[in-house]
Amino acid sequence: MIAKTAAAGGPTLLPEVLAFTSSLSLDRALIREDLLGSLAHLTMLSRRGIVPQEQARAIREGLVSIWDAVQAGTLQLPDEEDVHMAVESLLTSKLGPTAGALHAARSRNDQVALDLHLYVREQCAEIFTSLVKLLSSIVERAEVESSTILPSYTHRQRAMPITLSYLFAAYGAMLARDIDAFSFVLQQADASPLGVGAIAGTSLPIDRQLVRELLAFERITANGLDTVGDRDFALDYAYASSRLLVHTSRIATDFVDFASPEFGFIRLDGAIACGSSMMPQKRNPDLFELVRAKSGAGIGNLVTLLVDMKGLPSGYNRDLQEDRGPILATGPLVRSVLEILELGIGRVTFDKMRCLQAVEQDATQATDVAEALVQKGLPFRTAYQLAGTLVRACQDARVPLANVTTEMAQAVDPRLDDEVLAAARIRGAVARKTSPGGTGPDSVREQLQSLREVVTRTKARVESIPRVATLFAQLREASL
């Protein structure tokens, strides 16, 4: 044990205390970020003359050997309190006292803050990639579903006729906002904490800006006392992730509903439909149900972080070690949901006839009839009442609004002429929605074009995000 032995002037920890306080089982997932941060810090220490070049070269060789073992999957970490001390222990076993030079002007407080900033940045790049894949798939699906008509819903009651393209564009709009949210997360994480030390900086002549440049951060953090206790960037990350998972849950719920006989809008491919152990006729949408359920874990991660932070005083407190679980669990959860949702939606077939019948059997075009009357000069509320009277007459006669005859409409009110009744025809009602953001063909084309532009911009953004492996490869060859 390095941190709690003679090196720190104290006795060895009791095994029970080490087991309770250690975070190594979780934060070993941060070892790549930890090695990168250590290599950048070492480079700065060497260039500033704080660590002699000969020692720096030996330490760098040690860090590189550990990195290579990580990449090969052969690394065995010693039993230490955390990944930082495990790396230092490995270096010490290779280099002896020379390894201790690496920790000059650095504390585990700013070290873990750096690891988490690097980790969140890396996860943003991965999540962007998965988001782009799902959004691209949704746009492609929307482009081929422009002729499929189905009801939209408010209060889970049939509302107005829309195209399936419009529904997929709505899903795309959700995901585009998620991309914006993770762009904000990336901005918040784009600050280098290293160099603030335990809380108040260091008297050694370090160069924080050099470390920032080596790690490709936009800026350095402003105040050490704030830096070591700050997890706002992690809260932003957890919030963006939980909100994205809420969106995927809502999308999945549509597919769960649509797969039920009560809707009957979709058929699940046998490769994604799950059966029942008892009822041989079942074809269950388990995939979509589990997408919906997993949003709870993401929301739980956010709540855990918020509760962990809410009572802490300024500066670093060991409570912050509990951030590791929710932060490290969030990225893999989000990516798995995005990837399985993209796969699932791709194996769903919409029953166009059933979707259309759901509209034809109802009166979802009533608003269009009212608006056609408004275009003839009636006040909207008068037109609304007149359209409602026509709908009730159709319901009494068991005639769908789409099939209302001129004679039947004229018996309700002479102003319900053929020009007005044209708005009651299903495809005509959809085509009449010419306002931006509506379900009309031109509007949907504009929405899909906007989403394609989001995809293009996000792909470019992903390419511009500095990656841990790339930065390490550069630093292992950099001058000391």
Any domain includes 478: no
Strands 348-350 and 191-192: unpaired
CB count in 10 Å sphere of residue 169: 25
Let me know whether 223 and 308 are in one domain: yes
The residue type found at 21 is T
Any domain includes 209: no
User: Does 91 score more than 90 pLDDT?
Assistant: yes
Any domain includes 444: no
User: Does 195 score more than 60 pLDDT?
Assistant: yes
Let me know whether 128 and 76 are in one domain: no
Give the pLDDT confidence score for residue 454 in this predicted structure. 98
Give the end of a domain, one of 78, 104, 130. Answer: 104
Any domain includes 211: no
Between 6 and 102, whose confidence is greater? 102
Any domain includes 441: no
Give the pLDDT confidence score for residue 169 in this predicted structure. 98
User: Does 356 score more than 90 pLDDT?
Assistant: yes
Q: Which two three-digit tokens encode residue 405?
A: 């005859």
Q: Which residues are catalytic?
A: 155, 276
Strand partners, 104: none
Let me know whether 172 and 270 are in one domain: yes
* Residues whose CB is less than 8 angstroms from the CB of residue 388 and which lie 6 or more positions away in sequence, other chains included: 366
Let me know whether 372 and 342 are in one domain: no
For residues 450 and 453, give the distance between their C-alpha atoms in angstroms, rounded to a whole number: 5
Give the pLDDT confidence score for residue 8 in this predicted structure. 52
Report pLDDT digits (tens) over 248-292.
999 999 999 999 999 999 999 988 888 777 777 778 899 999 999
For residues 35 and 212, give the distance between their C-alpha atoms in angstroms, rounded to a whole number: 15
Q: Which two three-digit tokens encode residue 445?
A: 């084309």
Let me know whether 117 and 241 are in one domain: yes
Rounded average pLDDT over 209-219? 98
Output the CA angle 143-145-147, nearest 5 degrees: 120
CATH of the domain at 177: 1.20.200.10
Any domain includes 475: no
Give the pLDDT confidence score for residue 5 in this predicted structure. 47
Any domain includes 158: yes
Let me know whether 149 and 174 are in one domain: yes
Report pLDDT digits (tens) over 449-465.
999 999 999 999 999 99
Beta strands in 135-274 (DSSP E): 149-154, 157-163, 191-192, 219-220, 266-268
Any domain includes 433: no
Let me know whether 276 and 232 are in one domain: yes
C-alpha closest to that of 321 among 146, 109, 45, 126: 109
Let me know whether 393 and 249 are in one domain: no
* Number of compact structural domains in the chain: 3
CB count in 10 Å sphere of residue 301: 26
Give the pLDDT confidence score for residue 7 in this predicted structure. 45
Let me know whether 242 and 223 are in one domain: yes
Give the end of a domain, one of 104, 121, 143. Answer: 104
The residue type found at 427 is R
Report pLDDT digits (tens) over 285-334.
999 999 999 999 999 999 999 999 999 999 999 999 999 999 999 999 99
User: Does 28 score more than 80 pLDDT?
Assistant: yes
Let me know whether 348 and 396 are in one domain: no
Q: Which two three-digit tokens encode residue 282?
A: 């079942």
Let me know whether 301 and 154 are in one domain: yes
Residues spanned by the domain of 232: 109-204+218-357+450-467
Q: What's this model's pTM, rounded to 2 decimal places?
A: 0.94
Rounded average pLDDT over 216-230? 98
Give the end of a domain, one of 104, 127, 146. Answer: 104
C-alpha closest to that of 98 among 47, 62, 48, 44: 62
Rounded average pLDDT over 26-41? 97
Let me know whether 179 and 247 are in one domain: yes
Give the pLDDT confidence score for residue 210 in this predicted structure. 98
